[in-house]
Amino acid sequence: MLELINVSYATDDGKEIVSGVNLAINDRFVAVTGPNGGGKSTLAKLIAGIYVPTSGKILLDGEDITDLSITERAKRGISFAFQQPVRFKGITVKELISIASGKSISVSDACQYLSEVGLCAKDYINREVNASLSGGELKRIEIAMVNARGTKLSVFDEPEAGIDLWSFNNLIQVFRGMYERTKGTILIISHQERILDIADRIIVISGGRIAAYGAKNEILPELLNAQSGCRFTKEG
């Protein structure tokens, strides 16, 4: 279980981005949504260890991980997929997936992970993860990496970004398959209605605070009917 206890985060100039967040997350799929600039990505980076809270505590299965680095949190079972994936010059796609999995995997296994995210494996397996890849290609490769890691908590920051031509159904199937392998929690930041619709619970964050948190069947109808300024789209 992931717990956030009165977590706040402010920039160096004192601007508070996240304020007094209290959450207990232990479901299969949890979606985080809300207006742009509301603090969603900052919350994800606090969970991953990219940012350190100004105040409050973050616990993972009862352990205080508030001051642990992103590397230390990764060792404890947290994965994070960036909204804008990182490029790794000099490393091939296969090598990157092997690093993510924590072991030397076969070409067949690496190809399976790539195929699941809609990439033709033979066209990518030996390519470098550099500027020759588009943002959409990098996004899919990063999702394949997280899938290969199989951690207890996987955090995705707008995973649908840059993959407009890829069926949303395939993306959702990747998440479902990931859960079946790990039985962990998948936390997804998204505006997409179809992604929100697979969530067990939905967190709405606005102005750095939790505006709503509950079962999908309670929260999603309110979101779709509310004039809250949130952006939802049905197509990828």
Q: Is the pLDDT at 164 greater than 60, yes or no?
A: no
Which range is least confidently modeled, 50-64, 101-115, 194-208? 101-115
- According to DSSP, the residues that pair with 218 across neighbouring strands are none
Average pLDDT of span 119-136: 80
**What sign results for the dihedral spanned by CA atoms 85, 102, 150, 186?**
negative
Report the percent of the chain where pLDDT is more than 90: 42
Q: Is the pLDDT at 232 greater than 80, yes or no?
A: no
Q: Is the pLDDT at 199 greater than 80, yes or no?
A: yes
In the 8-state DSSP scheme, what is residue 86? P
pLDDT confidence tier of residue 163, bands split at 50, 70 and 90: low
Residue 188 vs residues 28, 42, 126: alpha-carbon distances, Å: 11, 13, 29
Predicted TM-score of the model (pTM): 0.83
Q: Where are the alpha helices (DSSP H) in 63-132?
A: 70-75, 93-101, 107-116, 121-124
* Residue 195 amino acid letter: I
pLDDT of residue 86: 66
Q: Where are the alpha helices (DSSP H) in the chain?
A: 40-48, 70-75, 93-101, 107-116, 121-124, 135-149, 168-182, 193-196, 216-225
β pairing state of 29-33 and 185-189: parallel
* Residue 135 amino acid letter: G
pLDDT of residue 234: 44
pLDDT of residue 85: 58
Computed over every residue of the chain, the mean pLDDT equals 85
- Is-contact 105 148, C-beta < 8 A? yes
- According to DSSP, the residues that pair with 3 across neighbouring strands are 24, 59
* Residue 114 amino acid letter: L
Q: pLDDT for 81-115, tens place per residue?
A: 876 656 777 888 888 888 888 777 888 888 888 88
- Is-contact 234 168, C-beta < 8 A? no
Check residues 189 and 141 and name the one with the higher pLDDT: 189
Average pLDDT of span 187-214: 92
pLDDT confidence tier of residue 166, bands split at 50, 70 and 90: low
Tokens standing for residue 228: 């809250």
Average pLDDT of span 120-144: 81
